[in-house]
Amino acid sequence: MAVSIVKTDRTADVRRAVELLGGMKKFVTGGEKVIIKPNICAAKDTFTGAVTDPEMVAEVCRMVAECGANPVVAESPIYPFKGSRVYQRAGYADFKSKYGFEFMDIDSADSREISIPRGRAIKASVVCDAVLNCDKLINMPVLKTHLQTVVTIGLKNLKGVVVGKQKHIIHLQGLHQGIVDLNTVVKSDLTIVDGIIGMEGTGGPTNGRPVKMDVIVAGDNVVEVDAVATRVMGGDPMKVEHIRLASEQGLGSLSGFEMVGDSLESVSARRDLPKTPGLNKILITDIGVRVMNLLRDPIMLLTGGERVVRKARLGELIIDEALCDGCRLCIPACPVDALAYGEQLDCDYKLCIQCFCCAEVCPRGALKKKF
């Protein structure tokens, strides 16, 4: 089909983005169960650019209901966040009473293990039953950066259909390919990106800088939508590993499809995107850090002392002790138990797999990736 672009600062214009694709009736029919999956990853309001605007989600529910179908909004936030607090802060706690449509916390709903026959990194996952049983899935990410995957848009938003701590398996087996694997079994029928307030910077997906991007991007193919939305932020989808892999594995194209509505140029700007360091930079820094450690504390290093103080290398976790207030929320977020709190927060770098799940949940932005 096509990807539509609407330059706007009004959530109601999501209707125009879908009409440009032929209208909601092209995607859903009367009597169907339609799951709408926003991004409500953390206890943040829409002005932070971290979560999909509930007003836009409600408008999509109305469009689905007008087709005679039954919309249900469903989400599971970043583990170990509790849904109740997250949904309260993000404006979804009273979704049913305010807008009249069902809202489901995936972590409290029934789920089951599914196999992923085409999976290269993950062969199975535990996914919400309602998502597996629905007739149509409408994917509604927000347009933002991610310190590990550069951007998080439609493909990555589907990680939220995996229940609670089960999301850790994707990090343990390989995040980029794991995202693609999941998208081979959980398919988006329509993807609508809320880019009215997005996020840039290395603090994404929860602690980046909010930016008014004033755009909605929509389409029937999630890879094509992600490719266009990445370009809206001035990025190259070929350099975003999970988007490139999804395209190479036949889930969609990065170019050559029709675009309708406003021009890409009219909504694009060069945003501050996290970079992936080159191999040569990693090697040079590694050697440099080893030499620095040797000069700083040679006896402890040579005798295999317990604690060798060193700066984080490129790609590693940095703990900003000045910002950390000791809340310990990050500790259960770590899939390999690399974090512990004694007198202060410590990371066992030998265990750390650099997934940055801890940084995603830190409410104070005290955990960062070394770029």
Binding residues (CB under 6 A) for ligand SF4: these are 317, 324-330, 333-334, 336, 338-339, 345, 347, 352-358, 362, 364, 366-367
Least distance (Å) from ligand SF4 to the CB of residue 307?
A: 16
Min CB(340)–ligand SF4 separation in Å: 10
Considering beta carbons, is residue 73 or 314 the nearer one to ligand SF4? 314
Contact between 43 and 91 under an 8 Å Cβ cutoff? The reply is no
Residue 112 or 364: the one with the smaller Cβ distance to ligand SF4 is: 364
Nearest approach, Cβ of 166 to ligand SF4 (angstroms)? 16
> Residue 189 or residue 316: which is nearer to ligand SF4 going by CB?
316
Residue 105 CB, nearest approach to ligand SF4 (Å):
22
Element (H, E) at 295: helix 279-296
CB of 221 to ligand SF4, least distance (A): 31
Please, what's the largest Cα pairwise distance for the chain? 74
CB of 57 to ligand SF4, least distance (A): 28
Whether the CA torsion 80, 83, 85, 86 is positive or negative: it is positive
Q: Facing residues of 114 across strands?
A: 125
Is residue 144 within 8 A of residue 212, CB to CB? The reply is no
Pick 27 or 356: Cβ nearer ligand SF4:
356
Pick between residue 44 and residue 136 the one whose CB is nearest to ligand SF4.
44
Q: Which helix (H) or strand (E) holds 146?
A: strand 142-146
Structure tokens at 98: 């305010």
Give the shortest CB-339-to-ligand SF4 separation in angstroms: 5
Looking at the Cβ atoms of 117 and 342, the one nearer to ligand SF4 is 342
Helix (H, G, I), strand (E, B) or coil at 143: strand
Question: Could you tell me if 368 and 320 are in contact, meaning their C-beta atoms sit under 8 angstroms apart?
Answer: yes
The least CB distance from residue 171 to ligand SF4, in Å, is 7
131-152: string of b/e by CB count within 10 Å (b at 16+)? Answer: bbebebbbbbbbbbbbbbbbbb
Instruction: CB nearer to ligand SF4: give 3 or 366.
Output: 366
- Between 35 and 334, whose beta carbon lies closer to ligand SF4? 334
Asked whether the beta carbons of 189 and 220 are under 8 A apart, the reply is yes
Cα dihedral sign, 240-242-246-248: positive
Among 156, 204, 146, 160, which Cα is nearest to 180's?
A: 156
User: Smallest gap, in angstroms, from Cβ of residue 341 to ligand SF4?
Assistant: 6
3-state secondary structure (DSSP) of residue 347: strand
Name residues whose C-beta falls within 8 Å of residue 78's C-beta, 6 or more positions apart in sequence: 41, 42, 167, 206, 333, 357, 360, 361
Q: Between 180 and 338, whose beta carbon lies closer to ligand SF4?
A: 338
Question: Rounded to the nearest 5 degrees, what angle is found at the Cα of 140, between the Cα atoms of 167 and 255?
Answer: 100
